Amino acid sequence: MGRIGSFTNALVMGHVAGFVLTRMMGLGGALALLPPPFLWQRPWTLFTWPFVMPFGILGVVFFLLILWYFGNAVEQAVGTGRYIAMWATANGLAAVVAMAAGTQLYGPFAFEGALLVVFARLFPDATLFLMFVLPARGRVLAIVGGGLVLWSAFATHATAGGIAHAAGMAAGYLVYQFTAHLPSRRKLAFELKQRRAQAIAKVEGVAIEQRNVAWDPKVREVESRVRATGAIAAEDEPFVAELDAAVDPSVTVCAPSEFGFTDDAVCRSCAGFAECAARRIRMAAEAGRQDEGSTEKASTA
């Protein structure tokens, strides 16, 4: 499934720490969520209760493998932001239900159950291997695993605590379901960047068109004058230099015969107008010199 997701990695480390504090140091009771008014004496338990690990060493290893594999796959599929939203919503609603019912709450059952159900939706046909030997479809394994997680929640809690975990499990899944068709953060950023680029291009296009329209009468005037004289006059050289300075080397201009001043819709909004206009003026000067040469030859003859 690729590298482990950033938040999944943090959760794995958090649950390892929770196991050490719960099973090895005997601090599970100090980390479990208690209903009001006891909650106000231990406010940190609002954040620590999901990391209390009511399992033996084999149960912890099994849980961490589930979290690492399924969590990594789901986080990469839905994005870290939605993944965190699933985790926060599952645990948040479970805590609210437990406090409303006046019962203690601990353990990672709410999010783990939601995680397995979401995996079943995302990867229903993925082939997994139980004990690295027996093949099983992702849908079947995840649903069976979710059922076992739910059963474990009721087995380790009173009925109210099990219901709280079940509510959190459903809430975590619904977060995925409701956000499944929303664009990812990366896609949203790309679309915003694209729209911004389009808006900038539109503004620049308007500015280019206004500049071309302002240049057009002067280009026509200078072209007519240099065609008649066969040379660019001193007073016209600054304007031609202005056109040369505005040439955009990234623009490939059309053939000289296709330049139609701003009467042509393409030329009117083209960033290569300056280059075409300067070329048109120089070609007019060349044509004027040729006409003079032809006239002189005819006179001599």
- Helix, strand, or coil (residue 245): helix
Question: Are residues 65 and 112 located together in one domain of the fold?
Answer: yes
Torsion of Cα atoms, 169 then 175 then 177 then 180, to 10°:
-140
Cα(25)–Cα(18) distance, rounded to whole angstroms? 10
3-state helix/strand/coil string of 39-88: HHHCCCHHHHHHHCCCCCHHHHHHHHHHHHHHHHHHHHHHCHHHHHHHHH
How many residues in total does the chain contain? 301
Question: Are residues 139 and 218 located together in one domain of the fold?
Answer: no
Task: Using the 3D structure, point to which of 162, 182, 202 is the last residue of a domain.
Answer: 182
Number of independent structural domains in the chain = 2
What CATH number corresponds to the domain at position 32?
1.20.1540.10
Question: Are residues 159 and 246 located together in one domain of the fold?
Answer: no
Question: Are residues 194 and 171 located together in one domain of the fold?
Answer: no
- Cα–Cα distance list, 211 to 242, 263, 273 (Å): 12, 14, 9
In a domain, 13, yes or no: yes
Longest dimension (CA), the chain: 120
The residues near 163 (Cβ < 8 Å, ≥ 6 apart) are 97, 101
The pLDDT of residue 3 is 46
| pLDDT tens for the chain, residues 1 to 301 | 444 458 999 999 999 999 998 877 878 778 899 888 887 888 899 999 999 988 888 888 888 988 998 899 899 988 888 999 999 999 999 999 999 998 999 999 999 999 988 988 888 877 665 544 556 666 777 777 778 888 888 888 888 989 999 999 999 999 998 887 766 566 667 677 888 877 777 887 888 999 999 999 999 999 999 988 889 889 989 999 999 999 988 888 888 888 989 998 889 999 999 999 999 999 988 888 886 666 555 555 5
Torsion of Cα atoms, 41 then 42 then 46 then 48, to 10°:
-170
Question: Are residues 66 and 210 located together in one domain of the fold?
Answer: no
In a domain, 1, yes or no: no
Q: Is the pTM of this model over 0.85?
A: no
In a domain, 291, yes or no: yes
Range of the domain at 101: 6-182
